[in-house]
Chains A and B, each alone.
Chain A
Amino acid sequence: MDYKIIPSVCSYCGTGCGVLFQVMDGKLTDTLPMKTHPVNEGKLCIKGWNLHEHVVSDKRLTTPLIKKNGEFQDATWDEAIQTAAEKLKGIVSAHGPDSVGVLASAKITNEENYLTQKFARAVIGTNNVDHCARL
């Protein structure tokens, strides 16, 4: 029997609402708005209220997938990264760097987002960078 309330910050958009995760016997069961958080003051949108669902969802991918013969198949990270790199390289050499756009994410850290734009600008050579939280 183990119950916990874990304070965190919503990862859906850039607002930064305070949330509380309810953890029962190691399983994330619910999300509550943090009442004293200066950003959201005890309020959340529908995505925030259901934040735990993308952690516990059955639909969550647990391994990389590569589409072969029209169907997604389990792959290793090495295979997945190799495939992505080769395809990106091919597209850049055939159509130029501005044929690629990079979308960063609210679910990763600031530092990872920095790396993402660096990858777009320095490696691919495009300024086509945007973010899912630019609502």
Chain B
Amino acid sequence: MEEQMKKWLEPFSTTDGKPSTLATMQEQVKEWIDQDKIDVFLGYKMVQGHPLPHFFTKNNLDEVDELIGGQARYSLEKIATKIAAEKPAIKIGLMVRDCNQRALNVLYVWNQLNPENVETINLNCCPSKLKKHADCSYLEPEKAAVYKKEVGIDNNMDVEDAEVFDMEQRFKRWMYEFSKCIKCYGCRDICPVCFCKECSLEHPELIATGTLPPENPIFHLVRAVHMGGRCIDCGLCEDACPVDIPLRLLYRKVNATVEDEFGYETGTHADQSPFNLLGDEVTLEPKPL
């Protein structure tokens, strides 16, 4: 535990042996707040022994000295979106890892956040195939147990591996995974790019209500379809799932289809999504009454 705490407090050690850049980041945040470049900074602070999201403003400027990277990954951009919805003009600073940045790009595309009102400080991210070096080991996958391997889908599989099963097997295995669902909506609630006011998952005419597990596979497939061109593969959904459904793998497959069909790599840039029907301006001529 002590080792882990140490790691949380100093997540900034760089590969080239340079000293911790934590102090530099704290200075940067203070400067931004002091110069009114931002109204609030969303970072992490140790509270009651837990690295928790924390808001830094002019009123608690001294606390910036306690700003840490925090190895526990929360969706700070989702919190920012909710603040911006209440106060559209507010200038927000954020501590971001790669996944947070990808989420921000999607939120810019869908007009949930205004990039002009957002400043970011980058932080080393979790290990992935793309980025070998990383400090955050939070997404270190757990090994699938024997029963899950036999009848379900191993969360650590690649899309290709999961497609080795024949159709019947594949359907059976996914249905086993979906059958565990307790309909907590955690996957949706934690998702940084889920922001709709009305959610299809709660629509009684689309998905039957009143039973557990929810109507399957439709419940999970509706969510999967909605993740096309939205999911930034941060893994927070799978992380929040109390029953270990391999959601990340499912959405990866959906996004692979989006990439194949439209050449759109979700979250890598803030360019328009092929699914966004709305432009910036009205191009239709108004009809005479």
Contacts and interface: CB of A to CB of B under 8 A. Distances in A.
B50 A34 contact: yes
Interface stretch (A44-52, A68-76, A80-88): A44-52
Interface string A33-68: 111110000111110110000000000000000000
B79 to A, nearest CB: 7
Interface stretch (A22-30, A102-110, A113-121): A22-30
A29 B48 CA distance: 22
Given A1-B87, A46-B184, A36 B53 contact: no
Interface in B41-67: 47-48, 50-55, 57, 59
A89 interface: no
Interface residues of B, number: 33
A4 interface: yes
Contacts of B40: 1, 3
B72 A20 contact: no
B285 interface: no
Interface stretch (B10-18, B114-122, B144-152, B237-245): B237-245
A5 interface: yes
Contacts of B189: 49
A7 interface: yes
A33 B239 CA distance: 11
A32 interface: yes
Contacts, number: 69
- Chain B binding surface, main DSSP class: mixed
Given A29-B82, A44-B242, A7 B50 contact: yes
Contact of A43 (B39, B83, B90, B240): B240
Interface residues of A, number: 25
A49 B48 CA distance: 21
A49 B72 contact: no
A3 B50 contact: no
Contacts of A42: 72, 239-240
Nearest to A37: B50
A3 B87 CA distance: 12
Contact of A36 (B51, B86, B240): B51
B173 interface: no
Nearest 6 interchain pairs by C-beta: A35-B72, A3-B55, A43-B242, A46-B184, A36-B50, A36-B72
Given A1-B87, A5-B55, A35-B72, 11 more contacts: A2-B59, A5-B52, A18-B50, A24-B82, A24-B83, A35-B74, A43-B240, A44-B184, A44-B242, A49-B185, A49-B186
13 contacts: A1-B39, A1-B90, A3-B55, A3-B57, A3-B83, A4-B55, A20-B53, A22-B79, A24-B86, A43-B241, A46-B184, A46-B185, A49-B186
